[in-house]
Structure 1
Amino acid sequence: MEGVGIDGLGDRIKRERQRRGLTLQELAAASGVSRSMLSEVERHGRVPTVVVLDRIATGLGTSIARLLRDERPPETTVLRRAEQDVARDPAGWERRILSPVLPGVEFELMRTTIDARVDAGTFQPHGAGSREYLAVEAGTLRLTLDGDPIELHAGDSVFYAGDRRHGFANPGPEPCVYYLAMDVTTGRARHDD
C-alpha cells in the first residue's frame, strides 16, 4: 500500500471500528475478514490487500479513502496528485483515491488501472442503498454484478447499486483505466457467503 504507513492504516481502522462501537468479532462478521487478520492489521503486523481493505471498509460502512486519510475541513479542498493515496495490489492493478475525506461524507472518487489480462477480484456489497458510477477511459473492463458480466469499452459508462457483489477484470491485451464514484450508505451490507 502506497501513501499511508502500516501504523497509520492500522490506527485508522481501529479508530473507525471503535467509533462505531464494534468489537473485532463484530467487524469480522460484518466484513468477512477473520478476527485474527483484523487484529494483525490494527497492531501494525500486516498490510491488507486492496480487496481485504475494501471488505474492512464495507464492514465498517465506510470507504477505503476514509481508512487511508484523515478528514479535511468541509470547504474547498484541493488534493494535489502527490497527496492522493494510491493502493497498489500485487496482482497487477492500482486504485488512486481522487476525493478528499470529509466529515459526515461517505463518498469516494477513484481512478483504477488494471493491467492486461488481470482480474482485480470481487468486492463485497456495500450498505443497502449504496450507489456506484463507473466510466471507462481506456481499454476493456469486465464488470461482474452478482455474477452477471457486463463488458465495457473506452467511453462506456454504467450506474449500478453498490449493495451487490461486484467484480472488476481486464480481459484485454492493454491496460484498462476507469473512474469509479461510490456513494456509500452506512446501512448494513448484504453478504452472500
Structure 2
Amino acid sequence: MHYVEDGAEALARAIGIRVRQERNGLGWTLDRLAAAAGVSRRMLVNVEQGGVNPSIGTLLRLSDALGVGLPALVEPPAPRAPKITRAGEGAVLWTGPSGGRGVLVAGTESPDVVELWDWTLAPGERHESEAHAAGTRELLQVQMGSLTVVVGIESHELKAGDALTFRSDVAHSYANPTGEPTRFSLAVYEPGVGAGHRTEGPHA
C-alpha cells in the first residue's frame, strides 16, 4: 500500500519514475530534456531521483517538453476505461504555508490536456502561477469563501458561487484576502501538448 510512506515522498518518487520513463522512451539524455524544458540539469536529476517535490511550474515545463501533459506525470498510464479518483486520492502538487492545498484530482491525456483541480487557500494565502503555454485557458468556480484572481494586470474579486474564465498564458495568481478559508474548483485546458509550442515564439 502506498499509504505506508509519506504521501509527498510517494508522489515525488512516482513523478521521478514517470519522468525518467518518458525521457528514456524518447531516447533523450538528461541534458536534452533539461534544455527542452528550460530547467537545470541538477533539478531534473533531483526530480528523477524522487528527491524533490517540484513546483507546478517545473512539472508543467517537463510534461510539455515530454509531450505527455501534467496528469501523465502524477499517475500511471491507464487504459481507456473510466478512471475514478476517490476522495483524498488526488495528487497534492502545492501546499501553502498555512495549510492550503492544490490537488490535481483528474486529467486527460495529451495532446489536448484538461486538468481538474481542487484548491483550498487558508486565510492570507496566495499562489503565484507563471504563464502557461500559448492558448491555455482556465475555468474556476468558488465553492466557499472569497477569492482574488489576478490575470496579467487585471484583478477579479469572486465570492462563493462566482465563476471566472480566462486565458492563462500570462502570469496569474489566486489569493484569499479574508480571514476565512477559501475553496475553489479549477479546470485547466492546455491544447496541443507536445507540439513544441512552449519552445517557439514569445511564450517559451
Q: TM-score, normalised by structure 1?
A: 0.80
Contact 1:4 1:68 in 2 (8 A): no
Per-residue CA deviation, residues 60-83 of structure 1 (Å, 9 max, x unaligned), is 565432211113222222222243
- 1:117 paired with 2:124, answer yes
What pairs with 1:166-181 in structure 2 (closer than 5 Å)?
166-181=172-187
Contact 2:92 2:102 in 1 (8 A): yes
Inter-partner Cα distance in structure 1 for 2:123 and 2:65: 30
Q: Which structure is larger by alpha-carbon Rg, 1 or 2?
A: 2
Inter-partner Cα distance in structure 1 for 2:64 and 2:174: 17
The residue that corresponds to 2:51 in the other structure is 45
Q: Output the amino acid matched with 1:163.
A: D
The residue that corresponds to 1:95 in the other structure is 102
Task: State the 1:162 CA deviation.
Answer: 2.7
Contact 1:3 1:84 in 2 (8 A): no
Contact 1:58 1:125 in 2 (8 A): no
The residue that corresponds to 1:35 in the other structure is 41
- Percent identity over the alignment? 29
Range with bigger deviation, 153-162 or 54-63: 54-63
Q: Output the amino acid matched with 1:99.
A: A
Per-residue CA deviation, residues 67-113 of structure 1 (Å, 9 max, x unaligned), is 11113222222222243222342423212222155475511111100
SS in 1 for 2:47: helix
Alignment CA distance shift 1:83-1:119 (3 Å) = closer
Per-residue CA deviation, residues 12-45 of structure 1 (Å, 9 max, x unaligned), is 1233445567654555455553332122111223
Inter-partner Cα distance in structure 1 for 2:77 and 2:90: 13
Contact 1:61 1:184 in 2 (8 A): no
Gaps of 5+ in 2: 1-6
Inter-partner Cα distance in structure 2 for 1:34 and 1:134: 32
Q: Output the amino acid matched with 2:120.
A: T
Contact 1:133 1:182 in 2 (8 A): yes
SS in 1 for 2:119: strand
Q: TM-score, normalised by structure 2?
A: 0.76
Inter-partner Cα distance in structure 2 for 1:147 and 1:163: 13
Gaps of 5+ in 1: none
The residue that corresponds to 1:183 in the other structure is 189
Contact 1:145 1:167 in 2 (8 A): yes
SS in 1 for 2:13: helix
- 1:138 paired with 2:144, answer yes
Inter-partner Cα distance in structure 2 for 1:20 and 1:152: 43
More helix by share: 2
- 1:108 paired with 2:115, answer yes
SS in 2 for 1:46: coil
Inter-partner Cα distance in structure 2 for 1:164 and 1:19: 31
